[in-house]
Structure 1
Amino acid sequence: MNGNLISSLDKNATSYEFNNLNPNVSYTVKVVSKYSGGYSSIGQTATAKTAIPLEDVTDLSADAKYDSIKLSWTRPDSDFFSHVKIYRKKLGQKSFWDQLFGATAVSAATTSDGYTPMFETNGTYWTDLTVTPDTTYSYKVTSVNIEGNESQGVTIETTTPSEPVPTMSGVATTQNQNGDYVVTWTSPTKGTVKVLINRQEYTVVDAATQQVIIPKKDMRLNFFGGYEAKLVPIGEFGTEGEAVQVPTVGETKIDFPFSFNDFIQTVINILVWAAPFILLSFVLVFWRPIVELIKKMLVNAKGGRVKQ
């Protein structure tokens, strides 16, 4: 090989395997026949180039959040490595029973392979920002060498958690020159905020605006002199948080745990529950006068007298 004697073979040999060659290198091999008496043939020569190795990435891992999945890996230690290709397959969203018992639903739309090309990079990580909560994904990362050949790739599965319940904070109210109410907040900044007036949906605004203007004519006051208006934070994927009452001008947080309507309803519920006990107490205290009154009414109806 390349002018160097590599081996002498038995006359019945028909093949020979060269090992420990360098990749992407051309080698010239000459095969010469030896005869008794020391004669040699001119020989036949052939030139071949070794292939470029194709190695997969290692240490593939996934860090799943409700709105993103970060993949990371170690690149092949090869001068012939070019880049990786990332593919994704959505296995399915978890139903209530899936989450309870750990089952995974596979989409009926999945093909024999089912992977969709997502990204190409020569780096060591990539973040998928197009995922949804409570969903299982399978990712495949393949290696591509400098000749454009692609490996079979390695795969990993991961499931995104549920979307956290959003909360309102830093809520404050001011009035503009027109007397309209400007309600602001510091968070959330993602998703939307639903405005309720008198328990009815008034409007829905982008949370990123961090404010909503309520015309003076539309604002209502409750029994305590506060505003009959509440804000409901809604996450990017529809998760609703706890409603927060709009503070009066100058306040920065909620002081009243319920509205006037809530107060009246609570009073009514207490009266309905306590009414039998109140009636019983009334009878126990005034039963004698009541009995005497009934006797007099009966006697007067008959035109007689009541015995003392």
Structure 2
Amino acid sequence: MSTLVLAEHDNSELKDATLAAVTAAGQLGGDVHVLVAGSGCGAVADAAAKVAGVAKVLVADDAAYGAALPENVAPLVAGLMAGYDAFVAPATSRGKNIAPRVAAALDVAQISEILSVEGPDTFTRPIYAGNAIATVKSADAKKVITVRGTAFAKAATSGGSAAVEAVGGAGDAGTSSFVGAELTKSARPELTAAKIIVSGGRALGSSEKFHEYIDPLADKLGAAVGASRAAVDAGYAPNDYQVGQTGKIVAPELYVAVGISGAIQHLAGMKDSKIIVAINKDEEAPIFQVADVGLVGDLFTVVPELAGKL
């Protein structure tokens, strides 16, 4: 069985989400090849070639793939799938954009956000916002899979010596164009890769209070900042801070939930964290059911006191 893995990158750096996808692909058995589709992405291909477990790196270096538009990348992948039994992509925005189009082109059912590989055609995946785990078996000849990165160990970034091969595709499909991107720049760690996350909820009351109380604690811990959907919807924090079923799925070593009640959608995005600390004045809040350490108290008093002792 041979598997093609879609590399997650920004044309200069290979992202950690790719490493988890490589681990999952390796558990399917057979050779693992990585597709690096981008523009001026030679450094990414070199990094992918060093990843343990990768047998070959395919590089599609074309301006049409620079922005990873799914209308351009999906036909490239579908064309390459003639030589593969499975396509694996990280369950990121990019992977979720491209994989369904590949599945449609191949006329197969996609298997989304797998948590484990039970066999070459059997997988587990979350349903009902993570409250149940389904075991699914695919009868399709070719598998199209997205991988929840927090469920798999990251493959080592050294030790591999894969061959690098250039491939081509149809290029620009002409159905979409990249206009621009407004990227958030922060000195803090990226949310999905952070080892420590401090998240704030609607109880903070305003954007000003959110940053006044969450940021100092995060800075003391060297943590990334997250937020519940309620806080994002209320305008307290930007969209890219959102943790949960409709936001980012995270599993840091330490997750601090401040003023977050623990709605099921939020828990789905962070309950795999190794240690969960909850601060909430409502002792009946659902967040305490998953917390390893719970502190019942007024966050406006507790958080500054905690930050002051760090």
- TM bin (shorter chain): under 0.3
> TM-score scaled to structure 2, two decimals?
0.21
Which one has a larger percent strand, Structure 1 or Structure 2?
Answer: 1
Task: Determine which structure has more spread, i.e. the larger CA radius of gyration.
Answer: 1
> TM-score scaled to structure 1, two decimals?
0.21
Q: Larger relative contact order (C-alpha < 8 A, sep ≥ 6)? A: 2
Which one has a larger percent helix, Structure 1 or Structure 2?
Answer: 2
